[in-house]
Structures are given as structure tokens and as C-alpha cells.
Amino acid sequence: MTTEVEFINTQPNTDNLIACPGCDLLHTKQSLQAGEYARCERCSHVLQTCKPLSIDRSLAAVLAGIVLLLISLCLPFLSLSRSGIESTISVLNAVEALWGSDMRGLGTLTLAFIVLLPLTRLVLLAWVLWGIRFDHQMRYSMRVAFRWAVQLEPWAMADIFMVGVVVSLVKISALANLEAGLAFWSLLALVGVMVIINLTLCKDTVWNKLDPIS
């Protein structure tokens, strides 16, 4: 005599679980205090962080980055002089020159990776951090904006651009007199600000603040 038992399909609650990106081991999310971090039991990969004053510090760095990026676009980048002839160029002039020399693809990529993508990422971060800092209620829009800001991070290549500029300057300096403009130093400072943003921004803290339950 057999008895049929009805199977009840229960969905486990996964909201409190986190998977290690290194070894896929599941962990329960921890409630961390400022300055604490949690590692994977298996591979010691950092899973959660709680950086102190992350929102305020990141917001200040992001706003400084926007100002520096706008300065680097509006002011002269380099001045070149040889045999009494002097020429000044800005970042936007370089893009315009590439377009004028039938290198529109390279000009478009330069404009996108050096100007548009970094500026878009900084503006998105500024909006999200400002909204968290002053308790705005548009949580869904802020979550979408922060997700895009995280995805744009590898594509904002101001640092790669500056490495290429420095290498070019070393080669050109033997042919003419070069003088770095304020935009050059602003873009160089922007690279440092980007590093500060990556060090101070705690993504776990931001996501926790944007959680609809919190």
C-alpha cells in the first residue's frame, strides 16, 4: 500500500546570501561596522566592506573630478613652439583635428573614452551619492544609475590617455619646445581623483542605502 505525498515547492530566501566571485561559495551577509570587512571562508576573497565615511568622501572626490574634467576640456592642454611658431591645442581641438583628417573613428573613440564616458560615470555617481547624502526618495532611479556607473568604470580611460600623452611628450620633446597647460595638470589630477574614488567608494554601503527595505 503506497501513499501519495504532495510535494510542496518552497523557494529558499536568497536575499541574505552572497556568492564569492572567486570560488562561488555561498555565504550569509554580515552586518558590518565601519572599517570592517568580510572574507570568503574558502579563498579569502573580500566579499563585503564597510568603509568609514564612504558616502561623504566619495561625493567630495566625485564633485572634484567633475570640476577637473570640465577644466581639462575648456583650457589649453599643450603648447608647442618651434622656430618662432607656437601652437596651442586642447582636448576638444585634438578630437576636432582627428575628424578633420578623416580619422573620424579614432576621434569618436577619443571623445567617448576620454570625455563622455568618464563624465557620464562621474555625473551618475554624483547624483546617487548626493541623493543618499540628502535622503532623496527616488531609490529605483538611483539604483539604475549606480548600476550603470559601476558598469562604466572599466571604460573610463582617462588614465590610459595620460600614459599615452606622457609617452608622446617624451618623443616630441626632442623636436620642439613643449609646455603643459592647465588642462594637462587638471587631467593628471583627475587620474589621481579617480584612484581616490575607487579607494573611498564602498559599493556595499551604497547598495545597502539604496535597498528598498532599508
pLDDT grade for 171, boundaries at 50, 70 and 90: low
Angle formed by the axes of helices 117-133 and 203-210, nearest 10°: 60
Residue 207: is it exposed, middle or buried by C-beta count within 10 angstroms (0-12/13-18/19+)?
A: middle
Distance (Å, rounded) from C-alpha 189 to C-alpha 156? 15
| Domains in the chain, CATH or no CATH each | 1-50 (no CATH), 54-207 (1.20.140)
List pLDDT tens digits, range 77-130.
777 777 667 777 777 887 787 777 878 787 888 788 888 888 999 999 999 999
Phi, psi of 81 (to 5 degrees): -135, 140
86 contacts 204 by C-beta, under 8 angstroms: no
186 contacts 66 by C-beta, under 8 angstroms: no
More confident call, 31 vs 161: 31
- How large is the average pLDDT for residues 151-174? 72
Which residues are within 8 A (CB) of 22 and not within 5 positions of it... i.e. 6 or more apart? 40, 43, 45
